[in-house]
Amino acid sequence: MTTTQPATGELPIPGPGVSATSGQRQRTAMRTHLCGDLRADHVGRTVSVCGWVAHRRQHGQSLTFVDLRDHSGLLQVVVDGSVDVRSEYVLRVTGTVAIRPDGTANPALTTGEVELRDCAVEILSVATPPPFPLDDRADAVDESTRLAYRYLDLRRERMQRNLRARSAVLGAMRAALAPFDFVEVETPLLMPSTPEGAREFIVPSRQFPGSFYALPQSPQLFKQLLMVGGTDRYFQFARCLRDEDLRADRQYEFTQLDLEMSFVDQDDVLEVISTAVLAAARAVTTEPVPPIERITWREAMNRFGVDKPDLRFGLELVELTEIFAGSGFKAFAGADAIKGIRVPGGSAAHNRRRLDDLTTRAKSLGAKGLVWMRVGAGGKLESPAAKFLSDDELAGIIAATEAVEGDLLLLVADEWATACEVLGQLRNDLGRPPAGQGPLRFVWVVDFPLFVGVDQATGRPKPGHHPFTRPHPDDIAKLEIDPLEVRSRAYDLVLNGWELGSGSIRIHESALQQRIFGLLGITPEEANARFGFFLTPFGYGAPPHGGFAVGIDRLVAILAGEENIREVIAFPKTQSGLDPLTGAPTRVTDRQLRELGVRVIAPEAPVTGSDPAGERG
């Protein structure tokens, strides 16, 4: 081995025609370049790189090949003689960049044209063999094992790419907001309990025994108070916490771009958020991103059956109710709504067993049943229900669905909401691709209902959003007369069928707020007890305002092509809420409990060891 590092100890400076790569921007006392940044332009230069041993190949006693890895990629290092290094040893290598011999270039690597020769190798740290390979093979490793050794899992190219995509999203969003004159403000993590939303995490107070803080489900109350305080435009990348059952798109802890704006209407908020999320998408993907579409909640339900529609595929719901007005078919007679979907070419793909499974699925979703029809030769509909329908009805189905031979039709007759929701779920079951596959299709869903149904116990309407959401100005007169028909100034942003976040224009007048509280059965005394610290400031002059919150974890997951947000979070919990790395949650000592004035009375159960088994703004 030979050493070619300059005797002065100074780092080599790139010569004419060599661009300043990120490797040179990350120059330190120990390295001149990142492993993945070296190219043919660097041939003949003496460089120093640092990283982990990915592979070592010994060619007798005369030559050793080492693949050195850092977050930027792999670099082949050629060492004269034998060098005693193992997988994941940390090395500093100084050598000369050279073109690989003919026939040995590796097009799978960005550095595949070059290698490092005449190398001096310094072992910076030895390593125990890792419990799983730190490459794509780790994708098949049990998740609890990967999370227990997350510091190793993070070395993998996939995880490094995801973390850098997340950083790029945050940077792009912050830069996109700058021209809009936003002020970045941090809001408290310890706040009073306001249990009108999801279950909260509660924190006992040592100084005030018997009293508790809550961790914020969102900065909702504080960001509105910032508007009362004249901040005008606020944002932060807020950490939020909710004690909810976990799933692929939900964690106890999550991050959202949270913002609020004064003297605005809905279009102003949507413009700002659209600018930020499109900038984030462009920072991560090279694919063209189409403009964000906008549809009403009712249109979303009528066309897609869900309020977070996936626009990447067809199978849209078709309205069939009028075709069966006065029908003699018992299953359709008197139904509030009859809707269907056409599955192109689905007839051959669905045998009787699969059709029975679809019927069972529809019933499990709340439908009374499911009518299926195959489209045979000449457009003839083949179905057990066909004999109960008139020729006009059968012809009407074909015309409305635009069905052709070989298609499969699925029909549901029920209450409007049930018919939409059941077919919406079947549509997703049959056609929805993975969230990160295919084009990016953003859509704004606006004009949500202010209330969603009636509480059977109280007879009061139930809020569709939080109780500070502003009613649609055209519907305020309906509040006491027909509250379930009142639209709100609430809006959701959806990407590829995932809800990225929600927001609304807020109520800023005391009289209108009291009307809403009255409809919900909240007396002035109860309102003061629950929200007094929030409502009192509004009496001192509150501006019209509105806001939004974007779920960063969900956005990054889709942009990175991941189906689970845990893959874009550095240190997540498992789906059961455990942290295999730290063992959390853990018990605390009796002394700690006494200091807090807390006594554990729940039955003891193990909480450590191996793993068993949207955001509102």
d(CA 608, CA 490): 41
**Number of CB atoms found within 10 A of residue 270's CB:** 20
d(CA 492, CA 501): 6
Question: Strands (DSSP E) along 376-489, which ranges?
Answer: 381-382, 408-414, 442-446, 451-454, 461-463
* Residue 260 known to bind ligand: no
d(CA 491, CA 448): 7
* Residue 135 known to bind ligand: no
Check: CB of residue 108 under 8 Å from CB of residue 58. no
In the block, residue with structure tokens 């605390």:
588
* Residue 393 known to bind ligand: no
> Which residues neighbour 50 within 8 Å (Cβ) at sequence distance 6 or greater?
30, 31, 70, 90, 91, 92, 93, 124
DSSP code per residue over 463-480: ESS-TTBPBPGGGGGGTT
* Residue 251 known to bind ligand: yes
> Which residues neighbour 111 within 8 Å (Cβ) at sequence distance 6 or greater?
35, 36, 37, 38, 39, 73, 74, 75, 76
* Residue 465 known to bind ligand: yes
* Residue 244 known to bind ligand: yes
CA 213, chain centre distance (Å): 28
Check: CB of residue 95 under 8 Å from CB of residue 116. yes
**Residue 26, CA distances (Å) to 9, 114, 179, 232 in order:** 17, 20, 29, 38
Q: Terminus-to-terminus CA distance in the chain, angstroms? A: 61
* Residue 553 known to bind ligand: yes
Check: CB of residue 432 under 8 Å from CB of residue 497. yes
Bridge partner list, 91:
51, 123
d(CA 138, CA 604): 35
Q: Which of 432, 409, 417, 449 is nearest to 309 (CA)?
A: 432
**Residue 93, CA distances (Å) to 118, 254, 440 in order:** 10, 40, 42
* Residue 441 known to bind ligand: no
* Residue 242 known to bind ligand: yes
Q: What's the maximum distance between 2 C-alpha atoms anywhere in the chain?
A: 97
Check: CB of residue 77 under 8 Å from CB of residue 119. yes
Cα dihedral 603, 607, 613, 615 sign: positive
**Known binding-site residue numbers for L-aspartate:** 196, 242, 465, 506
**Known binding-site residue numbers for ATP:** 242-244, 251, 499, 551-554
**Known binding-site residue numbers:** 196, 242-244, 251, 465, 499, 506, 551-554
